[in-house]
Structure 1
């Protein structure tokens, strides 16, 4: 039987811990036998998990026996792992053990050095921090999970369900994975490359920056066909000076900032109204529904209709 070791460190996120336990625990072979033996291990017997504590029946020695190791996220990922953890994970990796992380568990994974030179993902909110802290890791915040073969990383805890079902399918085929998916009341067909649904914040200007009033005006009027010349005139400067100062204070250009503002307005309308895509395209300042769909997919990673299905209230 395939052994899955879930490594729970202090501050473990409860849902990050439960996702792999549930999926692997639900998996049954065609003859009804359990497909996986799931065990929780840690560096100490009691582990803090949000509002409660859990008991970990196994120590780090379990990692040497496991076929798969799962690293759930923790509330405040340390840059240096507890004594013995890095060594145990690297030794397991050297023996061919499969290792997967859930959400910000990617920080723990990256701290071992095992992700150096590889593509990885984490929750989109934490992706910039992961990339800054571990520059040797290629962070992709747009996908649900990344499968590098032996090493896998997933985005938010819900995406961990997708990753675990993907592993069940890899190990035992689609029929076993489909049954586990039915037990989880979730679809089996979501692929790792499907985009995370991200609310793209507008690049801010520093507090008190001279561009701040202009940014507010641009956001309020992003439904209009604002030419660079009109924006520069509003700011009282040449287009060349505008581009330079805009990039200095926001890190991007006026045109790109405007595209982001329009996409964000479109996201809000998709979430809160039943307006047609054509109407939203006009109210968000896109020249045509086609241009809207193309820009929205490029920035958000999915279609407006798919985004609405996922996030429409009510």
Structure 2
């Protein structure tokens, strides 16, 4: 790492848009950076550092983590901790650091799902890895069908009251689960301020009830996979490149997702994006942000240029009725 102290861009807040998360006081950048990929121990620290620097210089203040991000699990938090310690510590009060727990993290009966034991222990581990006293936002990563929701939400309330997190939210919860979780947390005096669902042009499930629930409950959302694992970029318009992640790592985008039908749709969407003066990825990000229930779109990046490209989506977030109708026709064909 460079011996020179890091100084962020003085104009970092000039062009980013910040949006309120539901009815809370929390403002989030319209674009957030996710550390799901490319920030593990197997990845290049200097590249991760460059991505984080560029993101913050563009006004991205929200950095999204989880206990199991890596690989190996936990190492994305450790990578972020190194950059925080070396470069971003003076800016800590300008950052929204989020992490989650809900998936398998360690052996035995207490390393998964949604018990109070697991959630509190996992966050304590995350805080040690991150080298910080608190996170700004802590999520329950997925519903637990076995643990009473009152216990899980009670744990989130305890986490805020104990100073481990400033805000709490949920991820991957359905509409009815979201309403019930919000009701319980409201009764405890620790509101649910954010939901993190998957949402993209190719995955519109949240439009069938969840977005309405978020609106009614006054909960914001940070939507993940707005580019559908890269399908909504120009990288896959002609199929799966040999050097792509989809060709080598079946955990993510798989060949069966890249069908001729999907490719026909993405090529048509790409034409429309060009007419708007955008890349397909920029239009896809702008499209999810068109909904007032969407506070922020969560993007990933393997190099700083991808962050720059994603932020460019904010230059044209408006869609005319004809454009939206064309998009619906393409997606429903």
TM-score computed with the length of structure 2 as normaliser = 0.30
Greater C-alpha Rg:
1
Q: TM-score, normalised by structure 1?
A: 0.31
Tell which has more relative contact order, 1 or 2 (C-alpha 8 A, sep 6+): 2
